[in-house]
Amino acid sequence: MNTDTIAAIATAMSPSGIGIIRISGEEAFSVIDKIYRAKNGKKVLSDQGSHTVHYGFLYDGDEIIDEVMVLIMRAPNTYTREDTIEIDCHGGVLVMKRILETVLKNGARPAEPGEFTKRAFLNGRIDLSQAESVIDIIQSKNDFALKSSIDQLRGALKEKIKNIRAKIIHELAFIESALDDPEHISIDGYDKRLKDEIEDILDEIEKLIVSSENGCILKEGISTVIVGKPNAGKSSLLNVLVGQERAIVTDIAGTTRDILEEQINLNGITLNIVDTAGIRDTDDVVEKIGVDKAKACVDKADLIIYVVDSSTNLDINDMNIIEMLEQRNVIILLNKSDLPKRTTEKEIRNYFSNKIISVSAKDRTGIEELEETVKEMFFQGELKFNDEVFITNIRHKNALLCAKNSLEMVMQSILDKMPEDFYSIDLMSAYEELGGIIGESVDDDLVHEIFSKFCIGK
């Protein structure tokens, strides 16, 4: 029943050998024809037979993005029973992202979570016995997507988008008030003011698009938490990691945190490291809040680095931590190897089967082994990027681009001297697109703005 064309990355967002981008829907062929060129430059994929594979290059405009194999499948003999294209590309995260963005630019929209499966079912491809699992897929993916798109959005970005939306809705309300009550509110000469306003808004959106290209909308990477009792040496360890590895320290304004967050790059693998308050049993309310937050971080993390102070004995605080880390991806660091040992690897082994590394943050020993361990875990698939974050970022960027496009159309309407009511159409589209990013729909916003800001009526 949905015939618009959707696209998504079908493989995991990992540096594996091959990545697949899937496109499904009526316009799948028109999309691929715009961006694929065969080596000899002549072949047009929409002229080729179904279920055939083609070698060639993918272009964003005139620029080659990647060398690809394209599998074309015509409806109805496909997973979704719609025309389907699969682009096999080189597996880097950046390449896959770039290709998906290009596909979206050329007529597809990002697939909803679970949408390929949903279409497959609704179009009769998946049989009834699997319906429950279809529901589960949609549900779990949606839960996650919602969480990652709203929760993880940084306060500052959310505020920026809210501000831009507020400006757009105000202009819309002014136009609509004047149309609704032309004898009270005059709109003559308004086009110049609107043009200036939209130029400003376009600038702001442009900046957001640039920052989204730098991966700053949602943090992409492996979410990592450093835990340990107070004075175990967590912060100094972090400083070592950050200092040695030419860390990119992202400082995003507008977020208040009592937990320090750093982004570092280990051999090409991005870790988002959260340094938590030391965990100890405490009655102090202020400290307790910090501890609760640390526990929450641990629950969400993909990787936990547990720093043990080997110069002291394991105590009640360590026991609390150990309990928390059960069945998680943990690397244990026996810190302060430069000092006399009170806690040994053997003791820790009673609790963990995970990798244990002796380090000294002070002497910077053992750090290389830590890096190697992380790398190994990643390539063996024990550690994964959070795919949804990537996808959410692509979605957000796509929404920003669509909003920009809509506002450019308003500018065009002004240039073409269209009547003012035509501006509303694209202003509203921009407002909707931006709302999608922060999870806000349109509802009665416009009517509300009209009545609260403009005095109209008999």
Residues binding other proteins (CB under 8 A): 1-4, 112-114, 118, 121-122, 128, 131, 134-135, 138-139, 142, 146, 172, 176, 179-184, 416-422, 424-425, 428, 443-444, 446-447, 450-452, 455-458
For other proteins, the closer of residues 128 and 285 by Cβ is 128
> Both tokens of residue 9?
């990355």
3-class DSSP state of 291: helix
Helix (H) or strand (E) segment spanning residue 406: helix 387-415
For other proteins, the closer of residues 381 and 439 by Cβ is 439
C-alpha distance from residue 59 to each of 32, 36, 67 (Å): 10, 6, 9
Asked if 419 and 425 count as a contact pair (C-beta separation under 8 A), the reply is no
User: In angstroms, how far is CA 68 from the centroid of its own chain?
Assistant: 25
For other proteins, the closer of residues 2 and 16 by Cβ is 2
Q: Is 355 exposed, middle or buried (0-12, 13-18, 19+ CB in 10 A)?
A: middle
Supply the minimum distance, in Å, between the C-beta of residue 81 and other proteins.
13
Asked if 341 and 311 count as a contact pair (C-beta separation under 8 A), the reply is yes
Supply the minimum distance, in Å, between the C-beta of residue 108 and other proteins.
15
Supply the minimum distance, in Å, between the C-beta of residue 149 and other proteins.
12
For other proteins, the closer of residues 16 and 130 by Cβ is 130
Supply the minimum distance, in Å, between the C-beta of residue 191 and other proteins.
12
Backbone angles phi, psi at 434, to 5 degrees: -65, -35
Supply the minimum distance, in Å, between the C-beta of residue 229 and other proteins.
41
C-alpha distance from residue 244 to each of 231, 261, 272, 276 (Å): 21, 17, 16, 21
For other proteins, the closer of residues 50 and 412 by Cβ is 412
Task: Report the alpha-carbon distance of residue 202 to residue 399 in Å, rounded.
Answer: 13
For other proteins, the closer of residues 4 and 67 by Cβ is 4
3-class DSSP state of 352: coil
Supply the minimum distance, in Å, between the C-beta of residue 430 and other proteins.
14
Supply the minimum distance, in Å, between the C-beta of residue 212 and other proteins.
23
1-38: b or e for each residue (b if 16 or more CB lie within 10 Å)?
ebeebbbbbbbbbbbeeebbbbbbbebbbebbbebbbe
C-alpha distance from residue 101 to each of 59, 147, 173, 189 (Å): 11, 22, 33, 39
- What's the residue count for the chain? 458
For other proteins, the closer of residues 200 and 421 by Cβ is 421
User: In angstroms, how far is CA 144 from the centroid of its own chain?
Assistant: 11
For other proteins, the closer of residues 118 and 234 by Cβ is 118
Supply the minimum distance, in Å, between the C-beta of residue 182 and other proteins.
5
Taking phi first (over 0 means left), then psi (-120 to 50 degrees means alpha), and beta for anything else, what does residue 107 get? left
β partners of residue 275: 226, 260
For other proteins, the closer of residues 19 and 114 by Cβ is 114
Crossing angle for the helix pair 190-213 and 387-415, nearest 10 degrees? 160
Supply the minimum distance, in Å, between the C-beta of residue 385 and other proteins.
24
For other proteins, the closer of residues 98 and 118 by Cβ is 118
Supply the minimum distance, in Å, between the C-beta of residue 298 and other proteins.
28
